[in-house]
Copies of this chain bind each other. A is one copy, B any other.
Amino acid sequence: MGARGSMDYRAAGVDLERGDRAKAGLKDLLGSTSDALTLSKFGTFGGLYAVPPDVTEPVLVSSADGVGTKLKVAFAAGEHGTVGHDLVNHCVNDILVQGAKPLFFLDYLATGVLEECVVHDVVAGVARGCKENACALLGGETAQMPGFYAAGEYDLAGFIVGIVSRARILDGSRVRPGDALVGLPSSGLHTNGYSLARQIVFEAAGLEVTDRLPGHDETVATALLRVHRSYLDVLWPELEEGTVSALSHITGGGIPGNLPRSLPEGLGAEIDRGSWQVPPLFRALQELGAVDEDEMLRVFNMGVGMVVVLTAAEAGPFVRRLGARGEAAWELGRVVERPGVRFQ
């Protein structure tokens, strides 16, 4: 209540000064990601970013995403510095599959009661992800929404804009039957399957975030909060060379839910189950939850975070080039003239 028993915004749960202070702390974080094309300073209504002048027939590629219920693990662990990084890397991968390089990113952070240090940690993670991917953090919104989120909780979404020359768009049109499918390792669950993973770990197995995961040397929090990997650095030289026909980011829905999105209509995939080793984290979840193998494949990435489609002749050299850079890659299978994904 205000000074004279009247109502005011702070009494209604919204503290404009606290919001301003939290925002002021973000100024340096955004500034640290600026580049030569960033034309706006912090605090403008919209962020300004010049279209790079050196792209022929430039096409913008944009994606929106959230972190999903991985946030609940961050809340339980009191660790707010990684989820922003997850979000940026997720979005970077989503536009990379169309051949685009990131230009800029904006975040939306919604809280019930705005806690300055939490806001700072979250946005610092976003800024770290932006720097790692050479992407400007152009702006964002920090919303105070009393009654929407429990104390200490928040939701986080992000939006990315990248650019690709029209002739370099990856849209599946270069994919042919007989092409090879090469998988790149994920770093963990990335940002998918957390509703099931949390139910298994916290409810069925009764573990806490500080407990060691059975068969693991690390805690539940460490294993479940590992940052979603960005494939920009490893794949960008290949995209510039034009060796890649298509890419599929393995997110919610797993390989069966995502690989077909990158293939032309009428084509499908055969995948050899023995072509890669499913990491112990997924096997631990499967055992603790007695989850069917099909359900595992439909919910989790199972260790494969990105699938690369190339001609059969290119696959071997591609895997060797990555190997020479210390990057693992597995020949998973092939593109076939029958829709859908079959594991064999």
Residues of B within 8 A of A161 (CB): 60, 62, 161
Residues of B within 8 A of A57 (CB): 50
Contact A62 B50 (CB under 8 A): no
Residues of B within 8 A of A4 (CB): 290, 292
For the complex, is A317 an interface residue (Cβ under 8 Å from B)? no
Give the distance in Å from the alpha carbon of A31 to the alpha carbon of B141 in the complex. Answer: 28
- B-contacting 9-mer, from A142-150, A237-245, A269-277, A319-327: A142-150
Contact A195/B12 with A62-B139, A69-B148, A143-B68 known, Cβ cut-off 8 Å: yes
A side interface size, CB within 8 A? 92
Contact A64/B9 with A50-B57, A257-B16 known, Cβ cut-off 8 Å: no
Contact A51 B46 (CB under 8 A): no
- B-contacting 9-mer, from A104-112, A175-183, A207-215: A104-112
Q: Which of B64, B68, B141, B290 contacts A145 (CB 8 A)?
A: B68
Shortest Cβ distance from residue A75 to the other chain B in the assembled complex, whole angstroms: 10
Contact B65 A141 (CB under 8 A): yes
For the complex, is A289 an interface residue (Cβ under 8 Å from B)? yes
- B-contacting 9-mer, from A116-124, A196-204, A226-234: A196-204
Number of this chain's copies in the assembly equals 2
Give the distance in Å from the alpha carbon of A199 to the alpha carbon of B64 in the complex. Answer: 32
Give the distance in Å from the alpha carbon of A69 to the alpha carbon of B14 in the complex. Answer: 11
Shortest Cβ distance from residue A155 to the other chain B in the assembled complex, whole angstroms: 6
Contact A63 B162 (CB under 8 A): no
Contact B291 A12 (CB under 8 A): no
Closest residue of B by beta carbon distance from A50: B59
Most chain B Cβ neighbours within 10 Å, of A64, A104, A289? A64
Shortest Cβ distance from residue A162 to the other chain B in the assembled complex, whole angstroms: 7
For the complex, is A11 an interface residue (Cβ under 8 Å from B)? yes
* Cβ contacts A290-331/B at 8 Å (1 or 0 each): 111001001100000000000000000000000000000000
Q: List 19 A-B contacts (CB under 8 A).
A: A2-B295, A4-B292, A7-B204, A8-B291, A8-B295, A9-B299, A11-B199, A16-B252, A44-B171, A46-B94, A47-B61, A50-B166, A51-B58, A64-B107, A65-B141, A66-B110, A108-B159, A110-B155, A148-B153
17 more A-B residue pairs beyond the given contacts A6-B290, A48-B60, with a C-beta to C-beta distance below 8 A:
A3-B292, A6-B292, A9-B195, A12-B195, A12-B199, A16-B253, A45-B63, A45-B94, A45-B97, A45-B262, A46-B62, A46-B63, A49-B59, A60-B161, A148-B149, A148-B153, A159-B159
